[in-house]
Structure 1
């Protein structure tokens, strides 16, 4: 397969496969180093644009910084059940690679949970429900997984936002802390 791939895949394709593989753990070796690849394909117009709402404006870089610094994993699935976007927080809970973009949400979950995801999406689409919550123990962490129906101002279903958060530390909080204390 490798000889055929060498004939068909471009240097950019190899780079993308390498880069996306870094999202997953390597079972028999240390994490591979990230390769650098010059890609100036994003237009200047897009990077300089602003996202404006009634509550303010942000550059696209600022939006990405905000999303990737929230202590949650977020994945947006559109009304056609296609994965359109995910965040890249520092401490990812579930690995994701850009290869999931454009895939059916059914192909992005373990087989034993696909029927649950389908039920959530169909309940949201039908307007029966707007949120769903689960919590699981995974790799020594307590993980809260929430799904939110996304609807436009007319109430039309536009997709679902999946938000996963490690709540282990939150669950251990007791009493109050009213004064600043750096660290945990």
Structure 2
């Protein structure tokens, strides 16, 4: 993989620069990390590192997430996407949030974890016309 040759600092900077919140769990269902710690919409305490994801997830969606992770572990699913409307700034209109789960697999396609990616796509949904680079 081409990223194998990248300096860890560059990889970390890339992950922090991505316009999305990322949370990763390992094959044992433990939270192993996330990006954008200071600016996340879905905040996580540092004590969540090493915790089972079930202890960090809202109860109303937990059963669905458990099913999703089980399907990823068996290989029945690699990705799931959904979207919600969420208040980002108090008193302002809600934003459309895209939330996606991606199975993480090793070179032999064995499940090694899951990555949850949350992105505020409201501005993308409102794009019109064209804007060229440097306009």
User: Normalising by the residue count of structure 1, what TM-score does the alignment of the two structures yield?
Assistant: 0.65
- 1:166 positional shift: 0.4
Alignment-derived partner of residue 163 in structure 1: 117
Cα gap change, 1:141 to 1:89, in 2 (>3 Å): farther
Select the structure with the greater relative contact order (CA < 8 A; seq sep ≥ 6).
2
RMSD: 1.6
Q: Does residue 152 in structure 1 map to residue 106 in structure 2?
A: yes
Contact 1:131 1:149 in 2 (8 A): yes
Alignment-derived partner of residue 66 in structure 2: 118
Distance 1:74 1:157 in 2: 18
Alignment-derived partner of residue 97 in structure 1: 45
2:84 to 127, 136, 159: 136
Cα gap change, 1:155 to 1:67, in 2 (>3 Å): same
Alignment-derived partner of residue 25 in structure 2: 77
Contact 1:68 1:89 in 2 (8 A): no
Q: What SS does structure 1 have at the residue aligned with 2:118?
A: strand
Structure having the higher Rg: 1
Question: Which consecutive aligned stretches of 4+ in structure 1 deviate over 4 angstroms post-superposition?
Answer: none
Cα gap change, 1:107 to 1:162, in 2 (>3 Å): same
Contact 1:71 1:89 in 2 (8 A): no
Distance 1:133 1:166 in 2: 13
Structure 1 stretches lacking a partner, 5+ long: 1-52
User: Normalising by the residue count of structure 2, what TM-score does the alignment of the two structures yield?
Assistant: 0.87
